[in-house]
Amino acid sequence: MKRSLSLCALLLVAAACIPRAASKPPTIQLQSPGNAVQVGLGDRVLVQSIAQDDKGVIKTELWVDGRLYQADRSEEARGQLVFDVIQIWDAAKLGPHTLAVRAFDADGQPSAPVSVAVEVVPPLPTPTPSPTVPPTPITGPVCVPSARFVEDVTVPDNSLYNSGVRFTKTWRVRNDGECTWEPGTQWVHIGGDLIGAQSPAQVPLAEPDRIVDISVDMVAPDAQGTYKGYWRLQRADGTFFGDQAYVQIVVP
């Protein structure tokens, strides 16, 4: 009997020493655009990818020339087994560029990146008839500010907060235009639930291609339910620009 117990103990120790197989990272395929394609300056390029993982894909990132351009998260808390995403890249600079995508599983493990080369070329000139009257003199180019939402830094969609709890929502935004955001630029609530926030909120002045984080303090409402509020950048003259973003919480 003692010999049997000793043998069982040895088997248990040996089993504990066997290393567990490492979990496989997610995989991702880039459906479009194809490699070595040419696009016109100013075109909006659709970047479609399909990521898969047995544990669930939580996020897909689009990188342009080695810099994070856009991130899209799954609406499911633990991710999706198949995550099909279409992201849009604005071809704003002439020359060769590298577009890369990678996916993350529910444990934060990244896939191997998949990339393609894209060349931005000047658009074909459009023939125009000879003017019959002298054109109006142009005093100088007018730069229109622009902004693109990158990802939620804090408070993912449908985060749970008990009534009265204070929290800070942070969005990550990139200046995808050709001019620095002017003084007086603000982050303004444009619709939906305010969720105890103060609007407008100040934002840092961002030069072209810079990524900034915009934060707003909020308070969960007293009543149960789902709350969603929309925000957008506003110029000093009152005009809005760039992508709108939102925050969505649940009060149980």
pLDDT (0 to 100) of residue 5: 46
Residue type, 239: T
Instruction: Decide if 111 contacts 104 (C-beta within 8 A).
Output: yes
Residue 82 phi/psi, 5° resolution? -125, 120
CA distance 78 to 106: 6
pLDDT (0 to 100) of residue 8: 47
pLDDT (0 to 100) of residue 127: 61
**Pairing of the two strands 166-174 and 201-202:** unpaired
Tell me the β-bridge partners of 68: 63
What pLDDT digit, counting tens, does each position of 134-176 carry? 655 555 567 889 999 999 999 999 999 999 999 999 999 999 9
21 pLDDT tier (thresholds 50, 70, 90) = low
What pLDDT digit, counting tens, does each position of 233-244 carry? 999 999 999 999
What pLDDT digit, counting tens, does each position of 49-87 carry? 999 999 899 999 999 999 999 999 988 888 899 999 999
Model-level pTM? 0.56
pLDDT (0 to 100) of residue 2: 45
Let me know how many helices (H) and strands (E) the chain has, helices first: 1, 15
Instruction: Decide if 28 contacts 111 (C-beta within 8 A).
Output: yes
- The two three-digit tokens of residue 141, written as one number: 């180019």
pLDDT (0 to 100) of residue 198: 94
Residue with token string 């998949």? 114
What pLDDT digit, counting tens, does each position of 99-109 carry? 999 999 988 99
Question: Looking at the predicted structure, is the pLDDT value of residue 13 above 50?
Answer: no
Question: Looking at the predicted structure, is the pLDDT value of residue 16 above 60?
Answer: no
pLDDT (0 to 100) of residue 1: 47
What pLDDT digit, counting tens, does each position of 113-137 carry? 999 999 999 986 766 666 666 655 5
Question: Where is pLDDT greater, at 140 or 248?
Answer: 248
98 pLDDT tier (thresholds 50, 70, 90) = very high
What pLDDT digit, counting tens, does each position of 31-55 carry? 999 999 898 898 889 999 999 999 8
pLDDT (0 to 100) of residue 142: 79
What pLDDT digit, counting tens, does each position of 189-224 carry? 999 999 999 999 999 889 999 999 999 999 999 999
Domains of the chain, each with CATH number or no CATH: 27-121 (2.60.40.10), 148-251 (2.60.40.10)
